[in-house]
Amino acid sequence: MPSLTAPGELKELLARHGFRFSKSLGQNFLIDGNVLHKIIEGAGVTKQDKILEIGPGVGTLTQALARKAGEVTAVEIDRALFPILEETLKGCSNVRVLRGDILKLDLNELIREQFQGSPFKVVANLPYYITTPIIMRFLEEEQPFVSITVMIQKEVAERMAARPGTREYGSLSTAVQFFTCPRILARVPANAFLPPPKVGSVVISLERREKPAVAVNSRADFFRVSRAAFCQRRKTLLNSLSASGLTDMDKGTWKKTLQELGIDPMRRGETLTLEELARLSNYVSHSLRVE
């Protein structure tokens, strides 16, 4: 069996199967064994774990997961990779490879059939162009994952883990941190992939919280308020909220409301903590009910 972390052997494998990289699918195969170790270690994979891998590619990470985990279910969209996976995963009896688009599959059905509804870990080298939709789907649908440990684009990872007041902090930060505790595990150079991507890469772990980071009356309102606060970053919070259409309140009423909530109307949205956003969204939820 060829070594999937040896560029020469991997290229020979791909050529033998007539495989061509698809730019539209964002295919960059990991060829660095040290990075593989960091992903497995960061995810804390044990024989008791059930793993969902998204986009196994040629099976590099899949092989490593199979050695450490109890069960691995890998979902691959590219039918051209299946003959390769059949070869590279031969003998991995605890691995199931399914064909499908993770953004279109019924996750409830997938998890029920593959994991019988029990907790699982997501571990993957995600296609960068659909990173955020994939992760947000697992969060918003409240799937029973324990953690999500993934290789993603550096800028996206930094936004997920950003703290209030930083340039990277925004609505993605608050959404991810509402449900999970993000932790950047490693920065990965472009030469760790075949072909090398044109963007920086990071391994990030999102540990699921036992309960959301803050208590809110309506999650929908919390995320609406968060998006409104960040939508015009150079404007004050007062101006952003006044123009948001969240409620029928005029600018004067918004100013008074923010002051009563202990939030300076002249602050910018990117300085608000999760607690302050929760306080604000709970007020919006209450005012909408009154209306």
Give yes or no for a contact between 29 and 57, defined as CB atoms under 8 angstroms apart: yes
Q: Which pLDDT band, with edges at 50, 70 and 90, does 289 fall under?
A: low
**Eight-class DSSP state of 175:** H
**Whether residues 160 and 267 fall in one domain:** no
Q: With respect to residue 237, please indicate whether it lies within any of the assigned structural domains.
A: yes
**Which domain range does residue 43 map to?**
7-208
The Cα 214–Cα 223 span in angstroms is 12
Question: 157 and 228 share a domain?
Answer: no
Residues 119-137, mean pLDDT to the nearest whole number: 94
Residue 106 sits in the same domain as residue 155: yes
Q: What is the pLDDT of residues 6-59, one digit of tens each?
A: 999 999 999 999 999 888 888 899 999 999 999 999 999 999 999 999 999 999
What integer pLDDT is reported at residue 290 of this predicted model?
45
User: What digits encode the pLDDT tens for the residues 69-98?
Assistant: 999 999 999 999 999 999 999 999 999 999
Domain boundary among 157, 188, 208: 208
**Least confident residue range of 37-41, 183-187, 234-238:** 234-238
pTM equals 0.93
Q: So what's the pLDDT on residue 233?
A: 79
- Residue that finishes a domain, picked among 208, 232, 250: 208
**118 within domain boundaries:** yes
E strands in the chain:
29-30, 50-54, 71-76, 95-99, 120-125, 145-153, 180-188, 193-194, 201-208
pLDDT number for residue 234: 80
Q: What is the pLDDT of residue 26?
A: 84
242, pLDDT greater than 80: yes
Chain centroid to Cα 286, Å, comes to 31
In this prediction, residues 239-263 reach a mean pLDDT of: 91
Same domain, 76 and 20: yes
User: Tell me, what CATH number does 146's domain have?
Assistant: 3.40.50.150
Per the structure, how many domains does the chain have? 2
Q: Are residues 38 and 103 in the same domain?
A: yes
Question: Do residue 95 and residue 236 come from a single domain?
Answer: no
Residues 196 and 228 in one domain: no
- For residue 247, is pLDDT > 90? no
262-275 confidence digits (pLDDT tens): 999 999 999 999 99
What is the end-to-end Cα distance of the chain in Å, rounded? 67
**CATH code, domain carrying 265:** 1.10.8.100
Give the tens place of pLDDT for each residue, 25-35.
888 999 999 99
* Mean pLDDT rounded to a whole number for the chain: 93
Q: Give the length of the chain.
A: 291
* 155-181 pLDDT, tens digit each: 999 999 999 999 999 999 999 999 999
pLDDT of residue 129: 86
Q: Tell the burial category of 195 from Cβ atoms under 10 Å away from its Cβ (0-12, 13-18, 19+).
A: exposed
User: Are both 158 and 252 inside the same structural domain?
Assistant: no
Residue 214 lies in a domain: no
Of 208, 239, 258, which closes a domain? Answer: 208
